[in-house]
Amino acid sequence: MTYSVTDIWIIILALGAGTFLIRFSFLGILGDRQLPPWLLRHLRYTAVGILPAMVTPLILWPQATGGQLDPVRIIAATLALAMGLWTKNAIWAIVAGMATLWGLGFIVP
C-alpha cells in the first residue's frame, strides 16, 4: 500500500459520507416514493454482482503466490462456497475455507 496519510483519510471520509448519503437518500431526502421496478430489479443484484468479480482474481492469481495458480487456495475457496450454499451461513463458510487453507497448508507446504 503506497498511499499518503491524506489519501487514506480521503478514502475513509468519502466512503463514509457517500455511504451515509445512500442510506439517507429516501429516508431523508427523497421521501416516501416508489422506486421504478426496473431500478429495484437492478439494485437487488449490486452485492451479488460486484463481490464475485472482486473474489475471482484473488483466488485465481493470488499475490501471496506471486500470481501463480494455487491448488490449496482453489480447494479452500470451493469448500467455502459449498459450505455457504449448504448451510446458508456465512460464518460456517469462513470456518470451512480457512480450516481447509490451514489444514492443507500443513500437508502441502
Partner 1 sequence: MTPSSPRTAYLRGIRTALPFVIVVGPFGLLFGVVGTEAGLNIAQVMGFTVLVIAGASQFTALQLMADNAPTFIVVASALAVNLRMAMYSASLAPHLGAAPVWQRALIAYMNVDQTYALGHADYEANPRQSTAEKVAFFFGTSTPIIPVWIGATALGIVLGEAIPPALGLDFAVPITFIALIAPALRTIAHVAAALTSVVMAITLAFLPWNLWLLAAGLAAMMVGAEVERRMEARR
SS3 at position 109: coil
Q: Which three cell numbers stand for residue 37?
A: 421496478
Check residue 69 for interaction with partner 1 (CB under 8 A): no
Cα gap 30→44, rounded to integer Å: 19
Check residue 103 for interaction with partner 1 (CB under 8 A): no
| Cα separation values, 36 from 27, 29, 32, 43, Å | 17, 17, 13, 11
Check residue 75 for interaction with partner 1 (CB under 8 A): no
Nearer to partner 1, 52 or 71 (CB): 52
Nearer to partner 1, 54 or 107 (CB): 54
Binding track over 10-49 against partner 1, x by CB under 8 A:
xxxxxxx-xxx-xxxxxxx-xxxx-x--x-xxxxxxxxxx
